[in-house]
A and B are shown apart, each in its own frame.
Chain A
Protein backbone atom coordinates (compact mmCIF):
# COMPACT_ATOMS: atom_id res chain seq x y z
CA UNK A 1 0.00 0.00 0.00
CA UNK A 2 2.83 2.37 0.84
CA UNK A 3 4.54 1.43 -2.40
CA UNK A 4 1.36 2.17 -4.32
CA UNK A 5 1.04 5.59 -2.69
CA UNK A 6 4.69 6.32 -3.43
CA UNK A 7 4.24 5.47 -7.10
CA UNK A 8 1.07 7.57 -7.31
CA UNK A 9 2.69 10.58 -5.62
CA UNK A 10 5.79 10.45 -7.80
CA UNK A 11 3.73 10.02 -10.98
CA UNK A 12 1.63 13.07 -10.08
CA UNK A 13 4.74 15.13 -9.26
CA UNK A 14 6.35 14.20 -12.59
CA UNK A 15 3.13 14.98 -14.46
CA UNK A 16 2.83 18.37 -12.75
CA UNK A 17 6.47 19.15 -13.41
CA UNK A 18 6.10 18.28 -17.09
CA UNK A 19 3.10 20.58 -17.44
CA UNK A 20 4.82 23.51 -15.72
CA UNK A 21 7.87 22.93 -17.95
CA UNK A 22 5.75 22.87 -21.12
CA UNK A 23 3.91 26.02 -19.98
CA UNK A 24 7.21 27.84 -19.45
CA UNK A 25 8.52 26.57 -22.77
CA UNK A 26 5.39 27.97 -24.39
CA UNK A 27 6.07 31.32 -22.71
CA UNK A 28 9.51 31.41 -24.32
CA UNK A 29 8.57 30.00 -27.70
CA UNK A 30 5.17 31.38 -28.72
CA UNK A 31 5.23 34.42 -31.03
CA UNK A 32 3.08 37.17 -29.41
CA UNK A 33 1.74 38.42 -26.09
CA UNK A 34 -1.73 36.97 -26.54
CA UNK A 35 -0.48 33.53 -27.55
CA UNK A 36 2.12 33.58 -24.76
CA UNK A 37 -0.64 34.24 -22.26
CA UNK A 38 -1.96 30.75 -22.95
CA UNK A 39 1.16 28.97 -21.69
CA UNK A 40 1.45 30.11 -18.07
CA UNK A 41 -2.28 30.52 -17.32
CA UNK A 42 -2.73 26.87 -18.23
CA UNK A 43 0.35 25.48 -16.53
CA UNK A 44 -0.98 26.75 -13.22
CA UNK A 45 -4.23 24.83 -13.54
CA UNK A 46 -3.01 21.30 -14.23
CA UNK A 47 0.69 21.58 -13.31
CA UNK A 48 0.07 23.07 -9.89
CA UNK A 49 -3.11 20.99 -9.55
CA UNK A 50 -1.18 17.72 -9.94
CA UNK A 51 1.41 18.82 -7.35
CA UNK A 52 -1.37 19.73 -4.90
CA UNK A 53 -3.12 16.37 -5.34
CA UNK A 54 0.25 14.67 -4.75
CA UNK A 55 0.61 16.66 -1.54
CA UNK A 56 -2.92 15.70 -0.45
CA UNK A 57 -2.05 12.02 -0.91
CA UNK A 58 1.44 12.26 0.62
CA UNK A 59 0.68 13.80 3.99
CA UNK A 60 -2.10 11.46 5.22
CA UNK A 61 -0.03 8.46 4.13
CA UNK A 62 3.43 9.28 5.39
CA UNK A 63 3.05 11.69 8.29
CA UNK A 64 -0.51 10.93 9.41
CA UNK A 65 -1.65 14.55 9.35
CA UNK A 66 -4.38 15.79 7.11
CA UNK A 67 -4.44 19.27 5.65
CA UNK A 68 -7.10 21.05 3.63
CA UNK A 69 -4.89 23.93 2.59
CA UNK A 70 -4.35 22.40 -0.84
CA UNK A 71 -8.05 22.86 -1.62
CA UNK A 72 -7.76 26.52 -0.68
CA UNK A 73 -4.66 26.98 -2.85
CA UNK A 74 -6.62 25.51 -5.78
CA UNK A 75 -9.58 27.78 -5.05
CA UNK A 76 -7.47 30.94 -4.85
CA UNK A 77 -5.51 29.98 -7.99
CA UNK A 78 -8.74 29.49 -9.90
CA UNK A 79 -9.95 32.88 -8.69
CA UNK A 80 -6.77 34.83 -9.44
CA UNK A 81 -5.42 33.27 -12.67
CA UNK A 82 -8.22 34.60 -14.95
CA UNK A 83 -8.02 38.07 -13.35
CA UNK A 84 -4.30 38.49 -13.97
CA UNK A 85 -4.63 37.07 -17.50
CA UNK A 86 -7.45 39.52 -18.20
CA UNK A 87 -5.41 42.49 -16.91
CA UNK A 88 -2.39 41.55 -19.05
CA UNK A 89 -4.68 41.17 -22.09
CA UNK A 90 -6.28 44.56 -21.44
CA UNK A 91 -2.91 46.28 -21.02
CA UNK A 92 -1.79 44.70 -24.28
CA UNK A 93 -4.97 45.84 -26.05
CA UNK A 94 -4.32 49.39 -24.84
CA UNK A 95 -0.70 49.43 -25.92
CA UNK A 96 -1.62 48.08 -29.32
CA UNK A 97 -4.81 50.09 -29.81
CA UNK A 98 -3.16 53.42 -28.93
CA UNK A 99 -0.03 52.44 -30.91
CA UNK A 100 2.30 52.77 -27.94
CA UNK A 101 3.78 49.37 -28.70
CA UNK A 102 6.12 49.70 -31.72
CA UNK A 103 5.63 46.10 -32.79
CA UNK A 104 2.08 45.40 -34.01
CA UNK A 105 0.97 41.89 -33.07
CA UNK A 106 -2.15 39.76 -32.64
CA UNK A 107 -3.98 41.75 -35.37
CA UNK A 108 -5.28 44.17 -32.75
CA UNK A 109 -4.75 47.47 -34.60
CA UNK A 110 -6.69 46.53 -37.72
CA UNK A 111 -8.06 43.05 -37.23
CA UNK A 112 -10.01 43.14 -33.96
CA UNK A 113 -13.56 41.94 -34.63
CA UNK A 114 -16.23 44.55 -33.79
CA UNK A 115 -18.59 43.86 -30.88
CA UNK A 116 -22.23 43.25 -31.66
CA UNK A 117 -23.87 46.31 -30.13
CA UNK A 118 -23.24 49.97 -30.82
CA UNK A 119 -20.66 50.44 -28.06
CA UNK A 120 -17.00 49.63 -28.68
CA UNK A 121 -15.02 47.13 -26.57
CA UNK A 122 -14.92 48.38 -22.99
CA UNK A 123 -11.14 48.89 -23.12
CA UNK A 124 -11.50 51.42 -25.94
CA UNK A 125 -14.91 52.88 -25.02
CA UNK A 126 -13.49 56.14 -23.65
CA UNK A 127 -13.73 57.69 -20.21
CA UNK A 128 -17.47 58.06 -19.64
CA UNK A 129 -18.69 55.64 -17.02
CA UNK A 130 -22.15 55.18 -18.54
CA UNK A 131 -20.55 53.67 -21.63
CA UNK A 132 -18.37 51.16 -19.86
CA UNK A 133 -20.67 50.04 -17.06
CA UNK A 134 -22.63 46.92 -17.74
CA UNK A 135 -26.39 47.31 -17.25
CA UNK A 136 -26.72 45.56 -13.89
CA UNK A 137 -23.89 47.56 -12.36
CA UNK A 138 -25.27 50.92 -13.40
CA UNK A 139 -28.57 49.88 -11.88
CA UNK A 140 -26.97 48.98 -8.58
CA UNK A 141 -25.02 52.22 -8.36
CA UNK A 142 -28.19 54.23 -8.36
CA UNK A 143 -29.82 52.18 -5.68
CA UNK A 144 -26.94 52.37 -3.21
Chain B
Protein backbone atom coordinates (compact mmCIF):
# COMPACT_ATOMS: atom_id res chain seq x y z
CA UNK B 1 0.00 0.00 0.00
CA UNK B 2 2.70 2.46 1.00
CA UNK B 3 4.58 1.42 -2.17
CA UNK B 4 1.52 2.39 -4.22
CA UNK B 5 1.40 5.94 -2.86
CA UNK B 6 5.15 6.45 -2.46
CA UNK B 7 6.89 4.46 -5.20
CA UNK B 8 10.19 6.26 -4.55
CA UNK B 9 10.46 7.50 -0.95
CA UNK B 10 13.96 8.88 -1.56
CA UNK B 11 12.84 10.88 -4.58
CA UNK B 12 9.83 12.19 -2.62
CA UNK B 13 12.02 13.33 0.26
CA UNK B 14 14.45 15.03 -2.12
CA UNK B 15 11.63 16.85 -3.92
CA UNK B 16 10.24 18.14 -0.61
CA UNK B 17 13.67 19.41 0.50
CA UNK B 18 14.51 21.00 -2.87
CA UNK B 19 11.10 22.67 -3.07
CA UNK B 20 11.44 24.14 0.43
CA UNK B 21 14.93 25.40 -0.42
CA UNK B 22 13.64 26.95 -3.65
CA UNK B 23 10.80 28.73 -1.85
CA UNK B 24 13.37 29.71 0.81
CA UNK B 25 10.65 30.11 3.38
CA UNK B 26 9.46 27.52 5.89
CA UNK B 27 5.70 28.10 6.17
CA UNK B 28 2.80 25.68 6.36
CA UNK B 29 1.68 26.54 2.83
CA UNK B 30 5.13 25.92 1.38
CA UNK B 31 5.43 22.63 3.24
CA UNK B 32 1.97 21.52 2.06
CA UNK B 33 2.78 22.31 -1.58
CA UNK B 34 6.15 20.56 -1.21
CA UNK B 35 4.41 17.43 0.12
CA UNK B 36 1.89 17.54 -2.74
CA UNK B 37 4.71 17.65 -5.26
CA UNK B 38 6.69 15.04 -3.35
CA UNK B 39 3.78 12.60 -3.68
CA UNK B 40 2.48 13.49 -7.14
CA UNK B 41 5.71 13.77 -9.15
CA UNK B 42 7.04 10.27 -8.25
CA UNK B 43 3.56 8.84 -8.90
CA UNK B 44 3.36 10.28 -12.39
CA UNK B 45 6.99 9.55 -13.30
CA UNK B 46 7.27 6.08 -11.72
CA UNK B 47 6.93 4.48 -15.15
CA UNK B 48 10.25 6.08 -16.11
CA UNK B 49 12.01 4.37 -13.18
CA UNK B 50 10.91 0.76 -13.45
CA UNK B 51 14.11 -0.78 -12.07
CA UNK B 52 13.70 0.91 -8.66
CA UNK B 53 17.31 1.16 -7.46
CA UNK B 54 17.94 0.20 -3.87
CA UNK B 55 19.79 3.03 -2.16
CA UNK B 56 20.93 2.70 1.42
CA UNK B 57 20.79 6.00 3.26
CA UNK B 58 23.22 5.82 6.13
CA UNK B 59 26.82 6.20 7.20
CA UNK B 60 28.14 4.71 3.95
CA UNK B 61 26.39 7.35 1.87
CA UNK B 62 27.48 10.21 4.13
CA UNK B 63 31.05 8.88 4.06
CA UNK B 64 30.93 8.71 0.27
CA UNK B 65 29.72 12.30 -0.11
CA UNK B 66 32.35 13.50 2.38
CA UNK B 67 35.16 11.75 0.54
CA UNK B 68 34.03 13.11 -2.83
CA UNK B 69 33.86 16.68 -1.52
CA UNK B 70 37.31 16.33 0.07
CA UNK B 71 38.77 14.93 -3.17
CA UNK B 72 37.23 17.75 -5.23
CA UNK B 73 38.92 20.26 -2.93
CA UNK B 74 42.37 18.64 -2.97
CA UNK B 75 42.40 17.71 -6.66
CA UNK B 76 41.33 21.21 -7.74
CA UNK B 77 44.62 22.52 -6.39
CA UNK B 78 46.51 19.76 -8.21
CA UNK B 79 44.86 20.49 -11.57
CA UNK B 80 45.33 24.25 -11.17
CA UNK B 81 49.01 23.61 -10.42
CA UNK B 82 49.34 21.38 -13.50
CA UNK B 83 47.68 23.98 -15.75
CA UNK B 84 49.87 26.82 -14.48
CA UNK B 85 53.24 25.11 -14.26
CA UNK B 86 53.34 22.14 -16.65
CA UNK B 87 54.28 22.60 -20.31
CA UNK B 88 51.88 21.04 -22.81
CA UNK B 89 54.38 18.54 -24.19
CA UNK B 90 55.12 17.25 -20.69
CA UNK B 91 51.48 16.36 -20.02
CA UNK B 92 50.99 12.65 -19.49
CA UNK B 93 47.34 12.32 -20.54
CA UNK B 94 45.97 8.82 -20.80
CA UNK B 95 42.79 6.97 -21.59
CA UNK B 96 41.80 4.74 -18.70
CA UNK B 97 39.49 1.74 -18.89
CA UNK B 98 37.73 1.10 -15.61
CA UNK B 99 36.19 -2.38 -15.34
CA UNK B 100 32.86 -2.04 -13.55
CA UNK B 101 31.50 -4.22 -10.82
CA UNK B 102 28.48 -1.96 -10.39
CA UNK B 103 25.52 -3.13 -12.46
CA UNK B 104 22.57 -0.79 -11.90
CA UNK B 105 22.44 2.19 -14.32
CA UNK B 106 21.90 4.64 -11.46
CA UNK B 107 25.03 3.46 -9.64
CA UNK B 108 27.13 3.64 -12.82
CA UNK B 109 25.81 7.15 -13.50
CA UNK B 110 26.78 8.21 -9.99
CA UNK B 111 30.27 6.80 -10.43
CA UNK B 112 30.68 8.49 -13.84
CA UNK B 113 29.49 11.81 -12.41
CA UNK B 114 31.89 11.50 -9.49
CA UNK B 115 34.79 10.78 -11.84
CA UNK B 116 33.93 13.85 -13.94
CA UNK B 117 33.61 16.08 -10.88
CA UNK B 118 36.89 15.07 -9.28
CA UNK B 119 39.47 17.06 -11.22
CA UNK B 120 41.96 15.37 -13.50
CA UNK B 121 39.55 12.79 -14.85
CA UNK B 122 36.53 13.05 -17.18
CA UNK B 123 34.37 10.01 -17.88
CA UNK B 124 33.72 9.92 -21.63
CA UNK B 125 31.94 6.74 -22.57
CA UNK B 126 30.62 3.41 -21.39
CA UNK B 127 31.13 0.12 -23.20
CA UNK B 128 28.18 -1.26 -25.14
CA UNK B 129 27.65 -4.02 -22.61
CA UNK B 130 27.91 -1.64 -19.64
CA UNK B 131 30.90 -3.39 -18.07
CA UNK B 132 33.62 -0.78 -18.56
CA UNK B 133 33.93 2.97 -18.33
CA UNK B 134 36.17 5.03 -20.62
CA UNK B 135 37.87 7.83 -18.67
CA UNK B 136 40.26 10.50 -19.85
CA UNK B 137 42.94 11.54 -17.36
CA UNK B 138 44.78 14.84 -17.70
CA UNK B 139 48.04 13.86 -16.09
CA UNK B 140 48.80 10.50 -14.49
CA UNK B 141 52.15 8.83 -13.95
CA UNK B 142 50.81 5.31 -13.61
CA UNK B 143 47.47 4.54 -15.36
CA UNK B 144 46.98 1.17 -13.62
CA UNK B 145 47.45 2.70 -10.20
CA UNK B 146 44.94 5.43 -11.05
CA UNK B 147 42.33 2.85 -12.14
CA UNK B 148 42.95 0.91 -8.92
CA UNK B 149 42.59 4.11 -6.90
CA UNK B 150 39.23 4.98 -8.50
CA UNK B 151 37.95 1.46 -7.97
CA UNK B 152 39.08 1.31 -4.37
CA UNK B 153 38.10 4.83 -3.37
CA UNK B 154 34.77 5.31 -5.17
CA UNK B 155 33.44 2.07 -6.60
CA UNK B 156 33.98 -0.02 -3.47
CA UNK B 157 32.01 2.55 -1.47
CA UNK B 158 29.26 2.83 -4.10
CA UNK B 159 28.87 -0.96 -4.03
CA UNK B 160 27.91 -0.61 -0.39
CA UNK B 161 25.53 2.33 -1.00
CA UNK B 162 23.73 0.74 -3.95
CA UNK B 163 23.13 -2.68 -2.49
Contacting pair B76 A42 (CB below 8 A): yes
Report if B35 contacts A (CB, 8 A).
no
Q: What is the size, in residues, of chain A's interface with B at 8 Å between Cβ atoms?
A: 62
Query: Does more than half of chain B's interface fall in helix, strand or loop, or is it mixed?
Result: mixed
Q: Write the A34-72 contact mask toward B (1 if CB under 8 angstroms, else 0).
A: 110111011001100100000000000000000111011
A38 to B116, CA, bound (A): 9
Residue of B at shortest CB range from A119? B128
Report if B51 contacts A (CB, 8 A).
yes
Residue in contact with A120 in the complex, picked from B91, B117, B119, B127, CB distance below 8 Å: B127
Contacting pair A123 B125 (CB below 8 A): yes
A119 to B112, CA, bound (A): 19
Using a CB–CB distance below 8 Å, which chain B residues touch chain A?
A: 18, 21-22, 24, 47, 50-51, 72-73, 75-76, 79-80, 83-84, 88, 91, 93, 95-97, 99, 103-105, 108, 112-113, 115-117, 119-120, 122-132, 134, 136, 138
Using a CB–CB distance below 8 Å, which chain A residues touch chain B?
A: 18-19, 22-23, 25-26, 29-31, 34-35, 37-39, 41-42, 45-46, 49, 67-69, 71-72, 75, 78-79, 81-83, 85-86, 89-90, 93, 106-107, 111-123, 125, 131-132, 134-137, 139-141, 143-144
